[in-house]
Amino acid sequence: MKQSYCSLIHTSLEIQGYTALMPSVPQIGKRDSSLEDSCSDLTCHTKIGTNTTLKDPVNGIVRIDFPEFLAIHEQQLRSGGIPGHFWMTLHKKLLDEIYDASAYFVMNRVEYEDGGDEDDGSIDWQIALNCERLQKTDPNAIFLVDHAWTFEINSMRQSLIAFPSLMDRMLDLMSIKRTDGDRADLIEAVCENVWKYCRYYKVSIETPQEMPRPSSEFQQIRWYVPDEVGSRIAHSDQPNGRMVPFFYIPRGVCYSVFWPTCDLLEGDELTLDYVEHIKDPVLRPLYLLPWQPGDFSDEPVQHSYVLSEQFFQSHRVQETLPVGSSTPASSVAESKLPLTVFTDIELVSKHLTDPRFKLVTAEKDASVLWLYGHFKSFKELTQDPKHQMVNQFPGEQVVTVKDLLAAIASLWASSTNMNDDSTQDFIDDRLTCRWYPVTFNLVHELPAFVSYFQQKHDRINAAEAPIPSVCANVMCPRKQILSSRAASTEFSPACERNLWILKPWNLGRGLGINISENLNQIIRLSDTNPLIASRYITDPVLFYREDIDANVKFDLRYVVFLRSVHPLKLYVYNVFWLRFANKAFCLSDFDDYNVHFTVMNYRENDILKQ
Peptide bond into 338 cis (omega under 30): yes
Between 36 and 467, where is the model more confident? 467
The reported pLDDT for the residue numbered 32 is 40
Indicate the length of the chain as a whole number: 610
The reported pLDDT for the residue numbered 331 is 63
- In the chain, % of residues over pLDDT 70: 74
Of all helices (H) and strands (E), which one includes residue 268?
A: none
> Minimal CA–CA distance to 519: which of 199, 292, 187, 253?
292
Residue 267, amino acid: G
Contact indicator for 494, 469 with CB cutoff of 8 Å = yes
CB atoms closer than 10 angstroms to residue 569: 11
Confidence grade of residue 484 (pLDDT, cut at 50, 70, 90): very low
User: Could you give the CA distance from residue 517 to residue 531 in angstroms, rounded to a whole number?
Assistant: 16
What is the rounded average pLDDT for all residues in the chain? 81
- For 153, the 3-state DSSP assignment is helix
Q: Are strands 368-370 and 389-390 parallel, antiparallel or unpaired?
A: parallel
Based on C-alpha coordinates, what's the Rg of the chain?
A: 28
The reported pLDDT for the residue numbered 608 is 66
DSSP state of 228: T
**Average pLDDT score over residue span 518-523:** 98
Between 65 and 471, where is the model more confident? 65
Between 539 and 488, where is the model more confident? 539
User: Could you give the CA distance from residue 368 to residue 105 in angstroms, rounded to a whole number?
Assistant: 66
Measured CA to CA in angstroms, residue 540 lies from 226, 478, 487, 532, 577 at distances of: 39, 10, 19, 20, 18
Q: Which of 57-71, 179-193, 513-527, 568-582 shows the lowest mean pLDDT across its residues?
A: 57-71
**Average pLDDT score over residue span 20-25:** 27
Q: Are strands 271-272 and 234-235 parallel, antiparallel or unpaired?
A: parallel
Q: Which CB contacts under 8 angstroms, 24+ apart, belong to 231-234? A: 231/148, 231/173, 231/197, 232/107, 232/125, 232/126, 232/127, 233/127, 233/258, 233/270, 233/271, 233/272, 234/124, 234/125, 234/126, 234/127, 234/269, 234/270, 234/271, 234/272
| Contacts with 251 (C-beta within 8 Å, 6 or more apart), sequence order | 40, 61, 62, 94
The reported pLDDT for the residue numbered 536 is 96
Confidence grade of residue 83 (pLDDT, cut at 50, 70, 90): very high
Measured CA to CA in angstroms, residue 11 lies from 21, 32, 151, 233 at distances of: 6, 8, 21, 18
User: Could you give the CA distance from residue 70 to residue 267 in angstroms, rounded to a whole number?
Assistant: 35
Confidence grade of residue 585 (pLDDT, cut at 50, 70, 90): very high
Measured CA to CA in angstroms, residue 86 lies from 142, 257, 606 at distances of: 6, 11, 47
Between 342 and 385, where is the model more confident? 342
Measured CA to CA in angstroms, residue 514 lies from 438, 449, 477, 480 at distances of: 16, 16, 30, 31
DSSP state of 496: P
The winner for highest mean pLDDT among 146-150, 218-222, 398-402, 578-582 is 146-150
Does this model's pTM top 0.85? My answer is no
Confidence grade of residue 441 (pLDDT, cut at 50, 70, 90): very high
Measured CA to CA in angstroms, residue 40 lies from 29, 145, 228, 393 at distances of: 18, 16, 20, 45
In the sheet with 219-226, reading across from the earlier edge strand, the strands are 147-151, 219-226, 199-204
